Amino acid sequence: MSAKVMRGFVERISQVMGGTCPHHCHDPSPIAVAKFSGGVPSTDYAFEMICSTIRFGKGVTAEVGYDVRQLGSKHTLIVTDKNVVNTKAFESVSRSLQTLGMKFTVYDDVLIEPTDESMLKAVAYARNAGCDSFVAVGGGSVIDTTKAAALYCSNPEADFYDYVCPPFGQNLVPKNPMLPLIAVPTTAGTGSETTGAAIMDLPKHECKSGIRQRCIKPILAIVDPDNIKSMPRNVAIYSGFDVLCHALESYTALPYNKRVPRPSRPDLRPLYQGSNPISDVWSL
């Protein structure tokens, strides 16, 4: 299917389904966006790519101990779940830290599809352990939970909803940078190892929300093809659909130069700025 045909297909779906947000529906005109956002139709003129550091290669997981040592870490928290803790990926990470004499603690109680409560549980564990760095070993749920733990450990005075996206949170900018986090993904769908987002369920509000901050991107993503060998078949299928949905976002998102209101300062430009020439190429 050509890109032109795909775009037409997605646009027809958008028209049928409708929607209220002009950033994600079929009426992306500046006037419609301004009416929705309460701003004036003065569009942005630039987009920004916030690139992540990625190390890729078979067996590269064994290098994580050197990276933790370079951080000058005194106590690392390895965050994972009850399934991944039994995999070769986790074994490689823990062995690498042990070989270099790095002190670490393991938290393996991450909830698949994390909630605000499960994230707070991880935050409390990390605080009590006194960890100053984090290594996330797992899929998107593990990495997102680790982002929350690292963020709130460095901002202990913050309420959980201070950094959660509206309408339930305030989306405040954290006062302190997140403690260093290295992500070792064991799935190939969410891309959480390179994003500034942490997604969670809010059962009380019966919805899914998240934290979106530039400062919660992992400092390093260790992408090792060996780590997806243990991925269950259904997880591989779900991950494939995840990738497809992210690609489709490039066809449905508002172009960066049609987004309003234009930020008054460059640092107020949002983390996700709409479709752009680079995302268009990658979505193919």
Specify whether 84 is located in the same domain as 174: yes
- Give which of 94, 97, 89, 90 is closest to 68, Cα–Cα: 97
Find the domain containing 105 and state its range. Answer: 54-231
180 upstream amide cis, omega within 30 of 0? no
How far out from the chain centre does Cα 179 lie? 16
- Report yes or no on 147 lying in a domain: yes
Single-letter code of the amino acid located at 9: F
Residues 107 and 214 in one domain: yes
pLDDT-derived band at 25, boundaries 50, 70, 90: very low
Q: What pLDDT was estimated at residue 90?
A: 98
Instruction: Please tell me the least confidently modeled range out of 57-61, 123-127, 160-164, 274-278.
Output: 274-278
CA nearest 61: which of 283, 249, 230?
230
Could you give the percent of the chain with pLDDT greater than 70? Answer: 85
Q: Residue 79 falls within a domain, yes or no?
A: yes
Lowest-pLDDT range, 13-27, 95-109, 172-186? 13-27
Gap between the Cα atoms of 17 and 88, Å rounded: 44
pLDDT for the residue 23: 42
- The whole-number pLDDT of residue 47 equals 84
- How many structural domains are present in the chain? 2
In this predicted structure, the answer to whether residue 179 has a pLDDT above a threshold of 90 is yes
Contacts of residue 235, defined as CB under 8 A and 6 or more positions apart, other chains included, come to 139, 187
> In terms of domains, do 156 and 31 share one?
no
- Same domain membership, residue 183 and residue 77: yes
pLDDT at 67 over 90: yes
188-197 per-position pLDDT tens digit: 888 899 999 9
**What does the pLDDT read at residue 273?**
74
239: in domain: no
Distance CA 145, CA 128 (A): 16
Instruction: Verify that 87 and 131 share a domain, yes or no.
Output: yes
pLDDT at 186: 96
CATH code for position 126: 3.40.50.1970
- Which of 231, 257, 275 represents a domain boundary (last residue)? 231
> What's the pLDDT tens digit per position in 201-240?
999 999 999 999 989 999 999 999 999 988 889 989 998 9
> Is residue 48 included in any domain, yes or no?
no
In a domain, 238, yes or no: no
The answer to whether the CB of 122 falls within 8 A of the CB of 148 is yes
Q: Output the average pLDDT for the chain.
A: 87
Residue type, 246: H
Residue 197 is predicted with a pLDDT of: 94
Give the span between the Cα atoms of 177 and 271, in whole angstroms. Answer: 16
Same domain assignment for residues 94 and 210 = yes
Q: Which residue has the higher pLDDT, 189 or 174?
A: 174
The pLDDT value given to residue 16: 47
Q: Work out the average pLDDT over 33-53.
A: 69
126 and 31 within one domain: no
In a domain, 49, yes or no: no
Mean pLDDT, to the nearest integer, of 134-140? 97
Of the pLDDT bands very low, low, confident and very high (cuts 50, 70, 90), residue 95 is very high
Confidence of residue 44 (pLDDT cuts 50, 70, 90): confident
Residue 58 within a domain: yes
| Same domain (yes/no): 36, 63 | no
* 160 and 264 belong to one structural domain: no
Question: Which residue shows structure tokens 């942490």?
Answer: 198
Residue 226 domain flag: yes
- Cβ neighbors of 128 (< 8 A, separation 6 or more) are none
Task: Give the least confident one: 32-41, 107-116, 246-255.
Answer: 32-41
Domain termination residue (choose one: 194, 209, 231): 231
> Which of 24-28, 112-116, 238-242 bottoms out in mean pLDDT, i.e. has the lowest?
24-28
Residue 166: other Cβ atoms inside 10 A:
8
Q: Answer yes or no: do 209 and 117 share one domain.
A: yes
Q: In this structure, are strands 104-107 and 76-79 parallel, antiparallel, or unpaired?
A: parallel
* Cα–Cα dist 123/133, whole Å: 13
Report helix, strand or coil for 49. coil
36 with 58, same domain: the answer is: no
The residue assigned the tokens 């799935």 is 187
Claim to verify: residue 250 and residue 223 sit in the same structural domain: no
Section 5-16 average pLDDT: 56
